[in-house]
């Protein structure tokens, strides 16, 4: 499975994903100083909205595609500088442990090179279990429990 995406094209045609993400983000109550993991940041279109909602916060934006990260870096760093950190990482191999106040993700199952239950792997990165906000969470959780229960 290829890890790379055509970031230029994706940035232009990702309106459906951005729309889903804006709906999820609108439901999230933020103080403005949280440390947030953006799991599957793509080209950074939603990461920008997240950073704007966190004027004193910090976002670690992950994606498996270097092309996506390069585009996100060019799109985000001029305006947000050190408040955004971008890293290439498969979601199933994240090195984080209880480091985030919130995990934001809207269309990120494509950001893992391994099929499976990424929600279980990202849950260990968040400080409180109820802080996962994911448009796919319900569907993914049901699939995970089915896979785990045999």
**pLDDT in the model for residue 132:** 45
Report whether 108 contacts 42 (CB < 8 A): no
Ramachandran class of 76: left when φ > 0, alpha when ψ lies in -120 to 50, beta otherwise? alpha
Give the Å distances, CA to CA, from 59 to 53, 125, 126, 134: 11, 13, 13, 16
Q: Output Rg (C-alpha) for the chain, integer angstroms.
A: 14
- 34: tokens are 């949280």
Q: Domain 31-149 belongs to what architecture? A: 3-Layer(aba) Sandwich (3.40)
Domain ranges of the chain: 31-149
**pLDDT tens digits, the chain, 150 residues: what are they?**
457 878 888 778 778 888 888 888 888 889 999 999 898 899 999 999 999 999 999 999 999 899 999 999 999 999 999 999 999 987 777 777 778 888 888 765 544 444 444 555 555 566 654 344 444 444 444 333 333 333
> Residue 79, CB half-sphere, CA atoms under 13 Å: how many?
13
pLDDT at 28: 84
Tally the residues of the chain: 150
pLDDT at residue number 52: 97
Q: What is the pTM of this model?
A: 0.74
């Amino acid at each position: 499975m290829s890890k790379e995406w055509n970031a230029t094209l994706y940035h232009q045609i990702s309106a459906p994903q951005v729309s889903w993400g804006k709906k999820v983000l609108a439901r999230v109550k933020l103080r403005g100083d949280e440390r947030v993991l953006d799991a599957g940041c793509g080209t950074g279109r939603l990461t920008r909205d997240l950073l704007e909602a966190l004027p004193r916060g910090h976002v670690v934006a992950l994606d498996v595609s270097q092309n996506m990260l390069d585009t996100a870096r060019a799109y985000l760093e001029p305006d947000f500088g050190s408040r955004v950190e971008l890293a290439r990482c498969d979601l199933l191999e994240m090195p984080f442990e209880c480091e985030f106040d919130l995990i934001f993700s809207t269309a990120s199952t494509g950001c893992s090179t391994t099929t499976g239950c990424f929600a279980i792997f990202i849950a260990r990165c968040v400080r409180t279990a109820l802080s996962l906000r994911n448009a796919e969470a319900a569907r993914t959780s049901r699939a995970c429990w089915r896979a785990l229960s045999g």
